[in-house]
Structure 1
Amino acid sequence: MIIVTGATGVLNGATVDHLLQRVPAEQIGVSVRDPSRAEHLARRGVRVREGSYDDPELLRHSFADAEQVLLISSSDVAADVVAQHRAAIDAAVAAGAERILYTSTFGAGFDTPYPPLAIHAATEKHLADSGAPWTALRNGFYGDLGALLGPWQDTERIAKPADGPFPWVDRRDAAEAAAAILSGDAVFDGPVDLIPLKPVALADFAAAASELTDRRIERVVVDDETWVADAVDAGMPEPAARFTLSMFQATRNGYFADPDSTLTRLLGRTPRNVTDLLKEQIGQ
């Protein structure tokens, strides 16, 4: 059985949808904090059990009979997420899972200005130390496009700190790739980079937006401290602003510049690109 955590969320919810197209429903289970939100999956024949990264006993029960467990990275900003990830990994091992998969991120590592990369690296280390076969799905960036670009449709400007190349992916593509790995015959051991063939920069978004709207959308580079001050004035807490700034600093220092073809091979097509994403944002 394949057990998927976080299946009521966007990413792993889409993963389950793709799995249902590949394997019988009775071979799929989900571990969710609120089973009532997964009733649509239960109606399709998926096993639904309650599970929480903060309750190891409950988690072990939800992982029972698992051959593979897909762990979603925690989004609980108030928690010790590395401890949560360790507890989930330990529960999967205790339940006898033959392989543990984890939604990591491209560029995971300890020597980085962007804090999430160290969190994922620590989780991957615990996976490696667990004794179980494991796979880290190192997805590219798939955050909120509006937050990344700002109100460019109104201002005709993408005004952000200096950036460098980074791998932007659509959650739907990341989910489809995860389902292909979970249901396929090929074995992926350790980290697997799931990113586009070519990284992008904010200038690429500006160029695509200009072409789509037939307007000149300008990429404006804002000084780091000026951008932080402007963000704080607009209502963003300063720690959150500096956290966001660290992402731009990591991109321009080359942490995300390398391409990889694995995602394209798993999808059997070219992943959605900048133009595809912007078309959806502007409703084309």
Structure 2
Amino acid sequence: MIIVTGAGGELGRAVVEQLLERVPAQRIGVSVRDPERARGFMDRGVRVRRGDFADPASLAHAFEGAAKVLVVSTDATGEAAVRHHRTAVEAAVEAGAGHVLYTSHMGANPSSPFPPMPDHAATEVALRDCGVAFTALRNGFYATSAVMLLGAAARTGELVAPEDGPVAWTAHADLAEAAALALTGEDLDGVTPALTGSEALDMAGVAGIASRLTGRPVRRVVVSDADYRAGLVAHGLPEPTADLLVGLFAASRQGRFAPADPTLGRLLGRPTIPLADVLRPALTGAR
């Protein structure tokens, strides 16, 4: 059985949808903290069980009968995130899985100033040491994050952010398909190359796309890290989240989310989804 964790989230849910196009529903299990969020999959014949990375006993039940387990990274950071990931990897091995896969990141590095990246690097160490076949899917930066970083720029005409560097923005749909391929036989062992979209764009490039899509000019405005952080906090963002976003820009300045890599397009056998296609619904309402 193929087990997917985090199936209540955007990536995990998309992976399960891709799997349903490739294997019978009876061969798929999902592990979710709240089974109600996956009831739709249950109705389609997928096995749905509660699994919480903070509760190893629940994972033993959720992973029962697993041949492969995809551990989708949590939205936490720091020691808690690494501990939860390690718990999930260990539970997969104890359940008898012969292959453990993890949604890592192209920027995984213990020295990265972007907090999730050291967590991914530490989880990759746990994978290497787990004793069974493993795959660290080094996903490109989610293109949906560009929507969040744009914020109200289409309305105000200014995209205000610190100095940055190019980012290989990558669509969830492409990464979900790649994960499904890895789970159903595609030979992706060990740490993969960066799985990214076809172009790396900085925030000026993102502003340019927003201008073209809306027909209104969006100007890129560079501010200091300190001023950006202060503005986020003043608008009610928690300080740890503000620090995380400042770290994102610091890491991009160091080139940690570039360049774009052709591996994902070759794996999918088609062009990857461009950033403009991800931004269009948010900026224009088009579907």
Share of identical aligned residues, percent?
46
8 Å contact from structure 2 (residues 154, 214) kept in 1: no
CA distance in 1 between counterparts of 2:108 and 2:58 reads: 29
1:235 is the counterpart of 2:236: yes
Which residue in 2 is equivalent to 1:41? 41
List aligned pairs for 1:40-189, cutoff 5 A.
Answer: 40-76=40-76, 80-142=80-142, 143-189=144-190
Deviation digits for residues 17-50 of structure 1, max 9, x if unmatched? 0100011111111111122222211221111122
- Indicate the SS of the match to 1:66: coil
Q: Letter of the aligned partner of 1:73 in structure 2?
A: S
Please identify, of 252-261 and 152-161, the stretch whose mean Cα deviation from structure 2 is larger.
Answer: 252-261
Extract unaligned runs of 5+ from structure 2.
Answer: none
- Indicate the SS of the match to 2:118: helix
CA distance in 2 between counterparts of 1:79 and 1:132 reads: 24
- Deviation, 1:78, is 9.2
Q: Letter of the aligned partner of 2:266 in structure 1?
A: R
8 Å contact from structure 1 (residues 204, 274) kept in 2: no
List aligned pairs for 1:212-251, cutoff 5 A.
Answer: 212-251=213-252
Extract unaligned runs of 5+ from structure 1.
Answer: none
Q: Letter of the aligned partner of 2:131 in structure 1?
A: G
- Deviation, 1:242, is 2.0
- TM-score where L is the length of structure 2: 0.94
Q: Letter of the aligned partner of 1:102 in structure 2?
A: Y
Deviation digits for residues 213-272 of structure 1, max 9, x if unmatched? 222211111122121222222222333222211110110111122221121122222222
- TM-score where L is the length of structure 1: 0.94
For these two proteins, the number of residue pairs brought into alignment is 284
Q: Letter of the aligned partner of 1:8 in structure 2?
A: G
8 Å contact from structure 1 (residues 136, 192) kept in 2: no
CA distance in 2 between counterparts of 1:200 and 1:74 reads: 26
CA-based RMSD: 1.7
- Indicate the SS of the match to 2:232: helix
CA distance in 2 between counterparts of 1:217 and 1:28 reads: 45
- Deviation, 1:148, is 1.0
Please identify, of 100-109 and 188-197, the stretch whose mean Cα deviation from structure 2 is larger.
Answer: 188-197
8 Å contact from structure 2 (residues 78, 119) kept in 1: no
Q: Which runs of 4+ in 1 moved over 3 A?
A: 76-79, 143-146
Please identify, of 55-64 and 233-242, the stretch whose mean Cα deviation from structure 2 is larger.
Answer: 233-242
Which residue in 1 is equivalent to 2:271? 270
